[in-house]
Copies of this chain bind each other. A is one copy, B any other.
Amino acid sequence: MAETSRMLQARALLQQCLHARLQIRPAEGDAAAQWVEVTSARQLSLSSGMRVNTLLNVKLSETENGKHVSILDLPGNILIIPQATLGGRLKGRNMQYHSNSGKEEGLELYSQFVTLCEKEVAANSKCAEAGVVVEHGTYGNRQVLKLDTNGPFTHLIEF
């Protein structure tokens, strides 16, 4: 594979899926668990600060006739999942997360990312017309994910 020689700032994992469901609050006492749910979605798993524009415009979403277009052009729903584990580095038999953002900075970067994503989708006429949904997980909490794909087709984009 290609040589990499730079300071890694962020990682995103992109996964097109038919249906995804993310638990954002577990069941507690009488209160049922809360889930966010999207259909025909691009799932975005994030670590650290991201370039929203690049991720929304990369041509990784498959149309019915097999052509690849961006999620904005499809258009498709989006589920954003914060994943600190993506920033892990292998040290011996353990993963270490020393190079991840701190919690406060991470929360701020994540909130900015979600807001920017919502703005770009709202400003796109195709997405607005199709009623595209942007759902997202909560930062710093354990979340349960259920995923249906029509091919794993996972891509990693680093900044």
Copies of this chain present in the complex amount to 2
Are A142 and B146 also in contact (CB < 8 A) when A1-B10, A3-B6 are? no
Of A27-35, A94-102, A112-120, A125-133, the stretch lying at the interface with chain B is: A94-102
By DSSP majority rule, is chain A's interface helix, strand, loop, or mixed?
A: mixed
| Interface-central residue, A1, A81, A157, by most chain B CB under 10 Å | A1
The reply on A86 being an interface residue by CB < 8 A is: yes
CB of A85 to closest CB in B, whole Å: 5
Q: Does A93 interact with chain B (Cβ within 8 Å)? A: yes
A residues whose Cβ falls under 8 Å from a Cβ of B: 1-11, 13, 45, 48, 54, 57-60, 68, 70, 81, 83, 85-90, 93-95, 98-100, 142-157
